[in-house]
Structure formats: C-alpha cells, structure tokens
Amino acid sequence: MMSLRVGVIGTGAIGRDHIRRLTSVVAGVEIVAVADADPELARRVAGEAGARVLPGDRLIGEPDVDAVLVCSWGATHADYVLAAIAAGKPVFCEKPLATTPDAALAIVDAEARRGKRLVQVGYMRRYDDAYRALKRELDGGVIGAPLMMHCAHRNASVPAFYRPDDMITDTAVHEIDMLRWLFGAEIVAVRVLRPRTGGHTGDLPEPMLLVLELDGGVLADVEISVNARYGYDIRGEILGESGTAALGEPGVVAVRSAGRLAVPIAGDWRERFGPAYDAELRDWAGTVRAGQPPGGPSCWDGYAATSVSAAALSSLRTGERVVVSLGDQPELYRRE
Ligand SMILES: NC(=O)c1ccc[n+]([C@@H]2O[C@H](COP(=O)([O-])OP(=O)(O)OC[C@H]3O[C@@H](n4cnc5c(N)ncnc54)[C@H](O)[C@@H]3O)[C@@H](O)[C@H]2O)c1
Ligand SMILES: O[C@H]1[C@H](O)[C@@H](O)[C@H](O)[C@@H](O)[C@H]1O
C-alpha cells in the first residue's frame, strides 16, 4: 500500500513531536509539507523531515497532501479544519478544536453537510492505558454506579505566553473531554471556584477548581495547577456506590527501599502521555489509510468540550454556576 502523505501545520512543540512519531513510530506515513507562522522554524523542521514549506492554507489544497495535521495555536485551528473539510481531506486537529462554541459548531455543521467524518481531535487520554483500565473497571461494575470523580491536573510549569483563560481552554479541557468519554454522558453545568491566592503563581489564577455536573447526576471536581514545579501529575479517582477506582500510571514501578517508598513522577505531558499519543496517531493513520472514518474523538466531541470550556470561562468571571446546552446532535455523531 502507498504511504499516507501528510502535511503538518504548526511545527512547535507538539507539531515536531508528532512529526517524529509519524516518521519513526507509526508505519506507512510520509511528511510531505509543513507550515508555520515562523518561517525560519518551518524551514528548519522541513529540512529535517525532507518536506517542503508552504503557507498553511495552500498546504491543505496541494494534490500530494492526502491528510492534514493541525498543531498550531488553538485559536487558529478552526479555519484550517474548515478548509480541510472543504477540500474533502482527513484532518487530525490538536485540542482544542476551536476556541469558541460558534466556531466549533461551524465545523460540526460543515462535516455533517458533507455527510462523512473527516475530523479527529487530539484528546489523547482516550488512548491512555491507565484511563482505559479505569474505564474498564467502571464499566465492569465492581465499584457500583458512579457518584463522583475527583481529578487533579498539575503541570510542572507552562510557557511564558500562557494566559489565565488557557487554564481552562488549554488545560482543563482534557478533563472535560475525559469525563464525557469515561461516563458516556454530557456535562450539563459547571462552576469555577478559587481558593485564597498564595502569591506564588504570578498572574495566573491558580489553583482553580472546576465543579462539573454530568447528565445523570455524577459530580466531578477538577483541580487545575499549572506551576506545580514538582512534576506533571494527573490524578483521578471515582467514588461508586460500592467502592472506589483510582487512575494508575502506565509503566510506573514503586520501589520500597531503606525505609522509603519511591515512585517516579513524569516531568511533562510528553513523558506521561507518550504511548497515548503514539496510539492515537497509529489509529488515526490506520483509519485514514484504510479509507475508514476516524475512530477517535469527533468534532462533536470537540464542540462539546469547547462549549463546556466557554461556560467555565464565564463562571471564572462571575463565580456563578453556568448551564451548558449543546443543541441537537447531528445523526453522523450519534452513539450506537
Ligand atoms: N494533546 C496534548 O496533550 C497537547 C500537548 C501539547 C500541545 N497541544 C496542543 O497543540 C497546539 C500547539 O501547542 P504547542 O505546545 O505545540 O505550541 P507551540 O507554541 O510550541 O507551537 C505552536 C506553533 O504554531 C505556530 N503557529 C501559530 N499560529 C499559526 C498559524 N496561523 N499557522 C501556522 N502556524 C502557526 C507557532 O509559530 C508555533 O510554532 C495547541 O493547541 C495545544 O493545546 C496538545
Ligand atoms: O497543551 C498542553 C497539553 O495539552 C497538556 O496535555 C496539558 O497538560 C497542558 O496543560 C497543556 O497546556
């Protein structure tokens, strides 16, 4: 079978990591073109990948680009994804799908009008072994019907350009997607709370606590801290009617020695979720090469996550509980 020829838009941290993954981990993919707002960076990455540099909008229309990866900044995703749908090309879009519900809904409408799923969104936790094991435990029923989930999402640090809203649109958005997937239910309301300010975190409103209400009555709380310093720490524990199930860490060994229990902590998202990114892109490339619809998060999932983010942003400003309403789900996305 011929290799899948991919064009990559955005050659920053995750763009370069995905290019490495698509060329050295996933079989049958070739990077033929790259684009970045920073031309010097694009040239360097293109040189390393043996690809050519093009402006992002042109790259999508090139006849030898079979599929597109969008890894630029969040606010720029929607236009590229719409252009890919208009060109009839499969597109993997890093999270978030869009930064406003209207922009995300325009993508849902465009794809639904085309009548064919072309978009997969990069919510990679659905491919993580530890989250999958947690979901199996929950679905297996041993802990009984779920009541609550406690989550924490702690980054060791974030880049200098990171803004207060990013704590929701760029960080908490992972838990928002994960909760919908884990419990198979929409999030219907959200409230954002903040403790006293510790004075240790600069301009960012951290830590932050999101309280999310799921359709069916499960409650989830999510702590977001983005300068935890000690490491990249992702936690989750479900309380059910007859027990609890806690998220583990894939590949982690606990060492007991000299009177101490030592467990390594990941440094960043690359380390914690490396195998999950590998699995999501292997799955995506496999479905695209086979001419099948993508099996991962759809643009309806991307729209739902962006809508909950928008409600959380509004709650961050007012302190009020904000209701989320998604409207009707097009036939194309209905769960079986
Ligand atoms: N799934 C994950 O866990 C994960 C991890 C990291 C990043 N991300 C997502 O990937 C995206 C990129 O994040 P990053 O950490 O690589 O950021 P980054 O700043 O390292 O890279 C982004 C790149 O996009 C380029 N860019 C900006 N606007 C552009 C445009 N209009 N056209 C082309 N290029 C443009 C920038 O010049 C930069 O090189 C974000 O949406 C982020 O949320 C997801
Ligand atoms: O873009 C990154 C990435 O999505 C990570 O998975 C998340 O932990 C960070 O908070 C976010 O800034």
Please tell me the predicted confidence (pLDDT) of residue 196.
84
Domain assignment of residue 332, yes or no:
no
Contacts of 10 (CB under 8 A, 6+ apart): 35, 36, 70, 71, 72, 73, 76, 94
Closest C-alpha among 235, 230, 200, 198 to residue 220: 235
Domain assignment of residue 218, yes or no:
yes
Please tell me the predicted confidence (pLDDT) of residue 334.
84
Atom of ligand 1 nearest to the CA of 72: 24
What's the CA-to-centroid distance between 124 and ligand 2, angstroms?
11
Residue 151 has pLDDT above 90, yes or no: yes
The CATH number of whichever domain residue 252 belongs to comes to 3.30.360.10
Q: Are both 192 and 252 inside the same structural domain?
A: yes
Pairing of strands 91-93, 119-121: parallel
Q: Are both 46 and 115 inside the same structural domain?
A: yes
Closest C-alpha among 254, 265, 36 to residue 155: 265
Q: Are both 110 and 258 inside the same structural domain?
A: no
Secondary structure letter of residue 83 according to DSSP = H
Domain assignment of residue 237, yes or no:
yes
Residue 199 has pLDDT above 90, yes or no: no
Q: Are both 79 and 34 inside the same structural domain?
A: yes
**335 or 72: which carries more pLDDT confidence?**
72
Please tell me the predicted confidence (pLDDT) of residue 320.
97
Atom of ligand 2 nearest to the CA of 272: 6
**56 Cβ below 6 A of ligand 1:** yes
**173 Cβ below 6 A of ligand 1:** no
Q: Are both 105 and 189 inside the same structural domain?
A: no
Can you read off the two tokens belonging to residue 268?
Answer: 């960043």
Mean pLDDT for the stretch of residues 106-117: 97
Pairing of strands 146-154, 219-225: parallel
pLDDT, tens digit (0-9, with 9 covering 90-100), for 54-109: 999 999 999 999 999 999 999 999 999 999 999 999 999 999 999 999 999 999 99
165-169, 202-206, 293-297, 327-331: range with lowest mean pLDDT:
202-206
The CATH number of whichever domain residue 52 belongs to comes to 3.40.50.720
Mean pLDDT for the stretch of residues 153-161: 95
Domain assignment of residue 47, yes or no:
yes
Name the residue range of residue 196's domain. Answer: 126-272+306-323
Tell me the pLDDT band of 335, cut-offs 50, 70 and 90: low
Q: Are both 17 and 119 inside the same structural domain?
A: yes
Rounded CA Rg of the chain: 20
Q: Are both 179 and 224 inside the same structural domain?
A: yes
Domain assignment of residue 328, yes or no:
no
Closest C-alpha among 250, 233, 251, 223 to residue 149: 223
Q: Are both 142 and 46 inside the same structural domain?
A: no
Q: Are both 206 and 318 inside the same structural domain?
A: yes
Domain assignment of residue 145, yes or no:
yes
Mean pLDDT for the stretch of residues 106-122: 97
Question: Which ligand ends up closest to the CA of 233?
Answer: 2
Question: Which ligand ends up closest to the CA of 99?
Answer: 1
Mean pLDDT of the chain: 96
Residue with CA nearest ligand 1 atom 3: 269
Domain assignment of residue 121, yes or no:
yes
Atom of ligand 2 nearest to the CA of 273: 6
Between CA 159 and CA 53 the distance in angstroms is 26
Please tell me the predicted confidence (pLDDT) of residue 203.
82
Between CA 225 and CA 154 the distance in angstroms is 5
Please tell me the predicted confidence (pLDDT) of residue 193.
97
Pocket probe for ligand 1: among 9, 11, 14, 269, the residue whose CB has the most ligand atoms within 8 Å is 14
Residue with CA nearest ligand 1 atom 19: 12
Q: Are both 104 and 29 inside the same structural domain?
A: yes
Ligand 2 pocket by C-beta < 6 Å: which residues?
155, 158, 170-171, 174, 269
pLDDT, tens digit (0-9, with 9 covering 90-100), for 226-273: 999 999 999 999 999 999 999 999 889 999 999 999 999 999 999 999
Domain assignment of residue 333, yes or no:
no
| Domain count for the chain | 2
Please tell me the predicted confidence (pLDDT) of residue 336.
45
Task: Kindly list the distances between the CA atom of residue 37 and the CA atoms of 9, 42, 75, 257, 286, in Å, as whole numbers in the listed order.
Answer: 9, 8, 13, 50, 29
**122 Cβ below 6 A of ligand 1:** yes
Q: Are both 101 and 52 inside the same structural domain?
A: yes
Residue 308 has pLDDT above 90, yes or no: yes
Q: Are both 163 and 244 inside the same structural domain?
A: yes
